[in-house]
Amino acid sequence: MSSPTRQPAARRWIAIAAASSLAITLIACGSKANNTAGPTNTDSAAAQTGSAPSGSATGTGTPTTATTTSNGGGVGGQTSTNPYPTNAKDYGLAVLQAIANGNDSKIVDLSSLSTATYIQQQNYKGNYTSSRLPWVNTDCASSMCNYYDQHGDLASVGIDSSKLGKAGAATSVYIEGSAFAGDTAGYVQTFVTGGWVGGRNVIMLAYANQTIANFVKSKTTPQGGFVTQPTNCGTNRQCVDAGEYLAGGQPAGQIIHFTVDTTKLGKPNAIISATA
């Protein structure tokens, strides 16, 4: 592990905000669309209406990518004549696939006219095309499924479980435009501020894996801190430390040592280890 007493010039300070304000910052800075308003969805009284997703979702296992079947409507291994997926994860993937393909009729069929109108207003079809596929599911909780794509965008699809296997189960679609950082310090900084401190499991699993996310979440969440400048620590490997400072610039609390695969910078899952 790198020494926590690095010279001040070698430190990169992180502005750490509360999870709710962080989500707003990510949206404002990264999205190509105006995501300030959602649709009025009449399909479900409990539907999410384009608002930013909650940071409280927890992972449910290994992320899963979308797969298209011969029937043209189902994903994730649907082989029956029913064109509508029967589980929330695959239903959300089908919606995102329809957006990537620019398939308006499919979007309406899987959601509602009001949700499709919101998607049109946000220009999701223009911004999140098939070049960014596949979308990867990280978790589904509280009627909301979360995903990331190969560019770094994040998506949440609201699902009415009573309509799974039928038309109109998607109650909302919300996509945040973003990109994976191309440098080690910036990559780890997003994982720490957006995922760990921000409490967003989808970010942690987009930048690392479930084992690393679980390890980091087992540590005390910092309120403010630093990411050191990267050092080479093997072939195609760079390492940084992340931790918290006390007043006066002295490291305090738990410092975590991250290893990054530099061949994956700008792509998903570049953080390959985390130790304390």
Q: Are 141 and 58 in contact (CB under 8 A)?
A: yes
Which pLDDT tens digits describe the chain residue by residue (276 residues)? 444 433 433 444 444 433 333 332 222 333 333 333 344 333 333 333 333 443 333 334 445 444 443 333 334 444 457 899 999 999 999 999 999 999 999 999 999 999 999 999 999 999 999 999 999 999 999 899 999 999 999 999 999 999 999 999 999 999 999 999 999 999 999 999 999 989 999 999 999 999 999 999 998 887 767 899 999 999 999 999 998 765 555 556 678 999 999 999 999 999 999 999
CB neighbourhood size of 83 (10 A): 17
d(CA 90, CA 75): 6
CA gap 190, 186 in Å, rounded:
6
- How is the chain split into domains, by residue range? 8-18+181-275, 32-176
Integer-rounded Cα Rg, in Å, for the chain is 20
Q: Do you find a cis peptide bond into 268, omega within 30 degrees of 0?
A: no
Instruction: Return d(Cα 237, Cα 263) in angstroms, integer.
Output: 8
Q: How far, in Å, CA of 20 to CA of 32, rounded?
A: 20
Q: How far apart are alpha carbons 163 and 169 in whole angstroms?
A: 5
Ramachandran category for residue 211: left, alpha or beta (phi over 0 → left; psi -120 to 50 → alpha): alpha
Show the CA angle centred on residue 133, arms to residues 132 and 136, nearest 5°: 120
